[in-house]
Structure 1
Amino acid sequence: MTKLESLETRHGKQPLETRHGKQSLETRQNKQPLLQVERLKTYYPIRSGVFSNGSGRIKAVDDVSLTMYEGETVGLVGESGCGKSTIGRSIMRLENPESGRIIFDNEDITRYSQRQLKPVRTRMQMIFQDPYASLNPKIRIYDTLAEPLIVHKLARRSEVQREVDSLLNLVGLPRSSGSRYPHEFSGGQRQRIGIARAILFRPKLIVCDEPVSALDVSIQAQILNLLQDLQDELKLTYLFISHGIGAVKQISTTIAVMYLGQIVELAQTEELFRNPKHPYTRLLLNAHPQPDPTLRMHKKMIIHGDMPSPADPPAGCRFHTRCPYAQERCRKEEPRMTAGRHAVACHYPLA
């Protein structure tokens, strides 16, 4: 029996309600962090011409700190262009940070070379937003999954077929899928293949970069349920990136809210929905339809204007140009993130 087959026969999954609150607290008690991001900055040069050396920089991620513990799911939510995906790509070292530190599994990988990163990447994987673009259209699914097993010597050649079949079964695809090409699958099926590829190494951390945003709502629910089941079976840790607050609520134990390259609020999922303290978080929650009429409704906020350019962020609080509660202090002084389980970067947090 292979390792993956043995995982399929396990029982005793945790109930869904433990995936929030209680589980998040338990995973943080008396444990070392799996991932620590310290004051991370990732900038991109702005080039005005082919031969230009650059006329400015896009501050995609600007002084972000984040801690994750094994077994939890941290949701990263915010508008398009706020820097969510750049954080994920920087953690995976697909982008080179300007400054800061990325400590994964007690290793500072911030300045690792590609050769040094090779063994690390078997312990951290990524699920991409567009599953079709992340799959080679000329290679069968069997070869997509079999090649890493052979290259990293995770299975003998005589065992590869059985391992691939087990992977496909884990993500809800038939064995016959291995002989087909990416264009022969639907979007949801292709994302299942992307998930199979991500769990192939049995990693500790998976960065999920908007894995359901391109899918129909009904398919989104299936993929989210699959991710939760795999987390229970394989003891995975997720950084779940999305601009949809509903998907983040379903799967996350902790939520970090981003705005213009910075995290502005961080709290456990239930606490964040019950008592959002940052005006931007309140805006996101108001935009999310609430089907239960008995739940408390927050006072509606009116937001004017668009998000400023990350090439020239405003002074002081970056949200003050759109915040109805902004005061003179907000325009001059940048707020610091408070300490504690419910952290917020706001001079005048909401009650």
Structure 2
Amino acid sequence: MSIPIAEKERFIPEPNMDKPLIEIKQLEKYYPIKKGIISRTVGHVKAVDGLNFEIYPGETLALVGESGCGKSTTGRSIVKLDEPTGGQIIFNGRDLSSLNGADLRKARLDLQIIFQDPYSSLNPRKRIGDLLAEALLAHKLASKEEAVKKVDDMLEIVGLTKSHKNRYPHEFSGGQRQRIGIARALILEPKLIVCDEPVSALDVSIQAQILNLLKDLQKKFRLTYLFIAHGLGAVKYISDRIAVMYLGKIVEIGKTEDIFKNPKHPYTQALLNAYPIPNPHFRNRERIVLAGDVPSPANPPKGCSFHTRCPIAKDICRQQTPELLGGSQSIACHFPLN
């Protein structure tokens, strides 16, 4: 089904399928630590610390890791809800990190985000129809009559009905509110959608419905996803590639099938060990159990940031930071697993 909408003013050309849709180069997001009466900066929380990855048109890259590793901050920085401290965001051949004002507003026509908690992202004083039409009217992409028709079509596309547009956010269930969040992200016909843990707050049965909806929409509208999650079941189902984050850095990235079958980083294997497998033959599988807590991003360990919890760490791990190296499956580890 095509979505009728007034022609948008694009500041970038259509993507080349042989090139990444978006390239992240040395992305950084630091938060200052201030103390004293004059709020003197005494350090920084390195939430995102030098990320490098790319996403190709039509694929889903999953970003996984423990809570606090910088996944959501990465997603918010890419769409510039949080201003990056450093690095480049090359979207369809143009650097977004230097854009602001009118140019940034045009860029956001092609970059949208779905939030983890849809209720907190919806204005409780506005009807759903007004919330969905707001972006169309703000960007002057449709008249009021066209916006109403567009909202009706979009509600049906995400599994709701036209009558829902007259209701308020508190009148919906969690799954319905997430469908509204998806509709709001999709209504501008973006090329890339950042899905910031879109199913983690939902019941398991509702999670499956939302994941199936996202996959169907991706095929129908040729969408590209950055899927942020910590539930590996959802990641295995929806993603083409996986990037594993730890303490603001990517420690392993590769195809989903390769990551699940042959994890090479000890942290990746530890995450997979926590993922339940409904098969008794894997009951005695080799496990890596993590000890201790995640170090503070305000004072990350020297060398490999994972060495304080790694069961195979050696002296070089405490002294030298490993680079992310490899081909289709890249690992940042001095002693990758077999």
Q: Give the structure-1-normalised TM-score.
A: 0.90
Q: Deviations over 1:68-108 (max 9, x none)?
A: 11000000000000000111111111112221111011110
Runs of at least 5 residues in structure 2 that lack an aligned partner in the other structure: 6-14
CA contact (8 A) 1:278 1:346 kept: yes
Provide the rounded CA distance (Å) in 1 between the counterparts of 2:303 and 2:37.
34
Instruction: State the identity as a percent.
Output: 57
Where does residue 132 of structure 2 map in the other structure? 145
1:75 aligned residue (54, 59, 62) = 62
Specify whether residues 307 and 234 from structure 1 end up closer, same or farther in structure 2 by C-alpha distance, changes over 3 A only: same
Where does residue 193 of structure 1 map in the other structure? 180
Give the letter aligned to residue 116 of structure 1: D
Tell me the CA shift for residue 298 of structure 1: 4.3
Runs of at least 5 residues in structure 1 that lack an aligned partner in the other structure: 7-27
CA contact (8 A) 1:282 1:298 kept: no
Give the letter aligned to residue 125 of structure 1: Q
Specify whether residues 139 and 29 from structure 1 end up closer, same or farther in structure 2 by C-alpha distance, changes over 3 A only: closer
Specify whether residues 49 and 126 from structure 1 end up closer, same or farther in structure 2 by C-alpha distance, changes over 3 A only: farther
Tell me the CA shift for residue 175 of structure 1: 1.1
Aligned pair 1:289/2:276, yes or no? yes
Where does residue 320 of structure 2 map in the other structure? 333
Where does residue 107 of structure 1 map in the other structure? 94
Q: Deviations over 1:281-318 (max 9, x none)?
A: 00000001001345697411122100100000001111
Provide the rounded CA distance (Å) in 2 between the counterparts of 1:35 and 1:296.
40
CA contact (8 A) 1:129 1:213 kept: yes
More divergent stretch after superposition (310-319 vs 285-294): 285-294
Q: Deviations over 1:253-307 (max 9, x none)?
A: 0000000000000010001000000000000000010013456974111221001
CA contact (8 A) 2:75 2:194 kept: yes
Where does residue 55 of structure 1 map in the other structure? 42
Matched residue SS, 1:47: strand
Matched residue SS, 2:97: coil
Aligned pair 1:85/2:84, yes or no? no
Give the letter aligned to residue 256 of structure 1: A
Where does residue 154 of structure 1 map in the other structure? 141
CA contact (8 A) 1:35 1:68 kept: yes
Q: Deviations over 1:99-130 (max 9, x none)?
A: 11110111101121133200000001000111
Provide the rounded CA distance (Å) in 1 between the counterparts of 2:285 and 2:79.
37
Matched residue SS, 2:31: strand
Provide the rounded CA distance (Å) in 1 between the counterparts of 2:284 and 2:101.
49
Where does residue 24 of structure 1 map in the other structure? none
Tell me the CA shift for residue 246 of structure 1: 1.2
Tell me the CA shift for residue 146 of structure 1: 1.4
Q: Give the structure-2-normalised TM-score.
A: 0.93
Number of aligned pairs?
329
Specify whether residues 275 and 170 from structure 1 end up closer, same or farther in structure 2 by C-alpha distance, changes over 3 A only: same
2:116 aligned residue (123, 126, 129) = 129
Specify whether residues 171 and 312 from structure 1 end up closer, same or farther in structure 2 by C-alpha distance, changes over 3 A only: same
Tell me the CA shift for residue 55 of structure 1: 1.7
Superposed CA RMSD: 1.8
The 5 A counterparts of 1:252-271 are 252-271=239-258
Provide the rounded CA distance (Å) in 2 between the counterparts of 1:52 and 1:81.
25
Where does residue 311 of structure 1 map in the other structure? 298
Where does residue 202 of structure 1 map in the other structure? 189
Matched residue SS, 1:55: strand
